[in-house]
Structures are given as structure tokens and as C-alpha cells.
Amino acid sequence: DTEVTQTPKHLVMGMTNKKSLKCEQHMGHRAMYWYKQKAKKPPELMFVYSYEKLSINESVPSRFSPECPNSSLLNLHLHALQPEDSALYLCASSQDLYRANYGYTFGSGTRLTVV
Amino acid sequence: AQTVTQSQPEMSVQEAETVTLSCTYDTSESDYYLFWYKQPPSRQMILVIRQEAYKQQNATENRFSVNFQKAAKSFSLKISDSQLGDAAMYFCASLSGGYQKVTFGTGTKLQVIP
């Protein structure tokens, strides 16, 4: 299995809703990442997990809450989002932080729309 | 700090022809890696090719090759025999230091004309 699977593919949520994005990989990778990508822009790093521990938080607002319950699964919990949070959310993984030089494996993303 | 610059927002190429996408970067690190990622309309970012900065030899992957000019901090991607499936957004990226953070360029949208 050489894939990163993200669910759902599309999500529409109101500003008062609570929802979660899910990312799963079974490649034995120990580093996982959340990126946010606005239209026609490069991905922007949000969070990095290494061996299930949060390694980097790029000053992301607290309405985004990451969770890594095990080495295969990464969640992003969403609460009280704003319309400007509408974007493509990409998950990625690498063997570990110090072998990230081999490149990341990305999922297909979740297209989030906040109404 | 790392910066990656792609000065061509859009490029086009005739099918079966060759196209070169430009990228320049800046880093104070001596140990770093460079990448080209492809993002087709399906949205998934796909690793096209990677280059280790300490290697002088340019990386090649089938129809994709790079021209790595370390002194000039330039890392261009050449696509030979372009195919319709090559149409996508291409991002140049760098990874250095503690390997924790990839820096992406702003992307080049490649159109392949039949």
C-alpha cells in the first residue's frame, strides 16, 4: 500500500459546526503533515507530527485541532471556522522527519467550504 | 530561511516537444534537497524528481530531468516528449536543515497542446 487516503473528499460546513478530516497511511511512515492550499497557491504547512507527537505548529488558530491517535492515522478537528478557512487540506507522510529528503507522499486532499 | 522562486506562472508546450520550467532557490544550509512536485486537476501532489545538493550529477527520471546549477542556485525541470498527462501545476520545493519543513515555490501551470 503506497497511498495516503483522505476522507471526506469534499466537506461543506457552517461556521458553528464541528467536523473532522481524516488521513490514513499504511506505509509505516512515522512523520505526517497537514497542509492548507488556497486556489492557485502553494501548500502552506500547518502541523507536523513525528512518532505521533506534535513537532511543529505553524501558529495555526486554535479552531484547527490536530490529533494523531496512532502511527497510521492523522485527524484534523475543525470548530467555529471562518469562510476564509475554505481551502484544500492536504495530508502528507514521509518515512520519518530525517528521511523526509526522499520526498513526501500526499493524499488527494479534502476540499473544505465554510458557509 | 529558505526561499523558492518560480518566475513562470504559466507555460505551454506542444505535445511531443520539450519544455523547461525554471526555479531558483536560496538557502544558507549546506545540506539540502530539491524537489519537483506535480499537481494535476485530481489535486494529489506527486513527486516527480528529487536532487541531493551534494551530488553534482543531475537527476533523471524517464522523460523528466533537472539542470542543477548549485552556484547559481538554479534548479530547472526539463520535460521531454511532452504528453497530455503532463498538464498540471508544477511546484519546485526545497528541504534543508532539520528536514522538518518543505518550502514550496508559487508554481508553474503547464498546458500541453495536442
Q: How many angstroms away from the CA of B57 is the closest CA of chain A?
A: 17
Residue A20's pLDDT is what?
A: 98
User: Residue B3: pLDDT band by 50, 70, 90 thresholds?
Assistant: very high
DSSP state of A16: T
Instruction: Out of B45, B100, B106, name the one closest to residue A48 (CB).
Output: B100
Between residues B64 and B41, the one the model is more confident about:
B64
Residue B101's pLDDT is what?
A: 83
Instruction: Out of B98, B102, B107, name the one closest to residue A104 (CB).
Output: B102
Distances (CA, A) of B62 to A58, B59, B65, B78, B106: 36, 10, 8, 11, 25
Instruction: Out of A42, A92, A109, name the one closest to residue B107 (CB).
Output: A42
DSSP, collapsed to helix, strand or coil, labels residue B80 as: coil
Res. B29: pLDDT tops 90: no
Residue B75's pLDDT is what?
A: 97
Is the backbone of residue B42 left (phi > 0), alpha (psi -120 to 50) or beta? Answer: alpha
Residue A102's pLDDT is what?
A: 84
Instruction: Kindly state the cell numbers that stand for A115.
Output: 458557509
Q: Cα(B61)–Cα(B78) distance, rounded to whole angstroms?
A: 10
Residue B18's pLDDT is what?
A: 98
Residues of chain A with pLDDT under 70: 1-2
Res. B97: pLDDT tops 70: no
Cα–Cα nearest to B64, from B49, B85, B54, B50: B49
Which of residues 58 through 97 in chain A touch B, CB cutoff 8 A? 88, 90, 92, 97
Judging contacts by C-beta atoms under 8 Å, the chain B residues touching residue A92 are 45
- Yes or no: say if A97 and A50 are a contact pair by the CB < 8 Å rule: yes
Judging contacts by C-beta atoms under 8 Å, the chain B residues touching residue A56 are 100-101
The answer to whether the Cβ–Cβ distance between A100 and B52 falls below 8 Å is no
Res. B99: pLDDT tops 80: no
- Yes or no: say if A33 and A60 are a contact pair by the CB < 8 Å rule: no
User: Residue B2: pLDDT band by 50, 70, 90 thresholds?
Assistant: confident
- Yes or no: say if A78 and A66 are a contact pair by the CB < 8 Å rule: no
The answer to whether the Cβ–Cβ distance between A101 and B44 falls below 8 Å is no
